[in-house]
Structure 1
C-alpha cells in the first residue's frame, strides 16, 4: 500500500503518484532493439533541446517549484528527470543498467517526470510518501550518502528509500528482481497525457520487454 501523508498533501496539493506494480518479471540486459531505440531517442533529445533553455520546459519548471516549496534548492538538488536530461544534452553517457532500469529512464526522459523503480521484495510493509526530516537519508545509487531533509521521499518500515531526487541502493532493481514497484511523480499542473494513460503506456512497454504482469493506480 502506498500512502500520501497529510503534510505532503498540504505542501504539494497537485501531487499525484502513478503506481505500477509488476509481478513475475525477468530482468536482464536490455534487448538490442530497445537499446537501439533508446540511443536514437537520445540523439533526438540532443537535437530538440537546448541545455540553456530546459528550465522553461513545463515539467521541469513545475518540479523545480515543487522542490522549492519543500525547502530544497532545485539548482543544488535537481529533480531526477532534469538531471538525466542535462546529462544527455552535455553528451555524457546514459549508462545501460538492466532492462527494468533502462525502460524506467527512457520514459522519465520521454515525459520529463521523475521515475523510480524499486525491488518490491526489498521493501518492508506499507510505503508512505512524505517530507524528509533532519537525519533522514540513505546510501544512494550515485554512490553517495545523501540527506533527504526537506525533500519528497518514499519511506517503508525500514526507512527512506526513494525520491524524485535520487533513489537508495537498498531497493535497487537487479537481474535477480522479479517483483517491482514503479513510482512516477506527477503534478496535475503539468499539461500533456493524463496519468492513467501514462501508466498504461509505461506498463505495456515494461511488460513487453521484461515480461510479467502489471497493475496500476493513481494516488492523489
Structure 2
C-alpha cells in the first residue's frame, strides 16, 4: 500500500469539514517490549494530559454523536487513553505513539502495514463489513452500525467508530517492521500542532530504530 493511495470519503468530510489526518508510514522498525525509556515517555505524557473537559476532547465527542455513537459508552481513543492511570505499557512502538497521543490530546492509530489487504480508507460503513475482535477472551467477528465512521481495507474494518477500537488483525506487535500511523485532527487543534506531533513521533521512532525510513502525507481541508 502506498501512502498516496490512502483516502478519506466525502461522506466523512461532510460530517466534519474540519477533519484532517496526518498519515505516516515507517519502514524498518525495530520493536520490542516496553522498557524504561518508553515508560518515561508514558509517564511524562500522563503528567501533562489535558483535563477531561478540554475542547479537543469535546470535539471528538461531538463527532461521535454526529454519526450516532454514544461517547460515554464507546469513548474516542484519546479520551479513553487519557483517563488511564498509569498509561498502559504495550510495546515500544505503541508506547511511543500513545505518549504523543496523550501529550497532544490527539487520536493516533498504529497499524501493521504487512497485515493490510488493499488500501486504507476512512468511510461511512454499510453495516456489512466484518470486524475481527475479542469478546470475553474469545475471537469473534462483529460488524459496524450503518453509517458508522470506520477505517477499513479490502478485507474489512480495521478500526471502528473512527478511532475507538482497532481490529486484531492489523495491531502492531513486537514482530512489526513496517507500520502505518494515522494522526487525526479536529478543530480547535491547529494543523501546525498536528504536524508538530508527527515530527515528535518521527523522532521517537528514529530513537528506537535509527535506520527507519518515514514517509508522511497530510490530508486536510483547503486552507
**TM bracket, shorter-chain basis:** 0.7 to 0.9
Q: Answer yes or no: is 1:138 the counterpart of 2:131.
A: yes
CA distance in 1, matches of 2:171, 2:113: 9
Matched length: 209
CA distance in 2, matches of 1:140, 1:80: 16
Partner of residue 4 from structure 1, selected from 2, 8, 11:
8
2:144 counterpart residue number: 148
TM-score by length of 1: 0.85
TM-score by length of 2: 0.84
1:180 counterpart residue number: 179
User: Residue 147 of structure 1: CA displacement?
Assistant: 4.3
Q: Answer yes or no: is 1:107 the counterpart of 2:107.
A: no
Partner of residue 85 from structure 1, selected from 77, 82, 87:
82
1:23 counterpart residue number: 27
Task: Give 3-state SS (helix, strand or coil) of 1:140's partner.
Answer: strand
Partner of residue 122 from structure 2, selected from 121, 129, 134:
129
1:199 counterpart residue number: 198
Q: Is the 8 A contact 2:41 2:96 kept in 1?
A: no
User: Residue 58 of structure 1: CA displacement?
Assistant: 1.2
How does 1:58-97 map onto structure 2 within 5 Å?
58-88=55-85, 93-97=86-90
When the two chains are superposed, the root-mean-square deviation of aligned CA atoms in Å is 2.2
CA distance in 2, matches of 1:128, 1:44: 32
CA distance in 2, matches of 1:42, 1:108: 10
Unaligned runs of 5+ in 2: none
Q: Is the 8 A contact 2:124 2:150 kept in 1?
A: yes
Q: Is the 8 A contact 2:46 2:103 kept in 1?
A: no
CA distance in 2, matches of 1:59, 1:198: 14
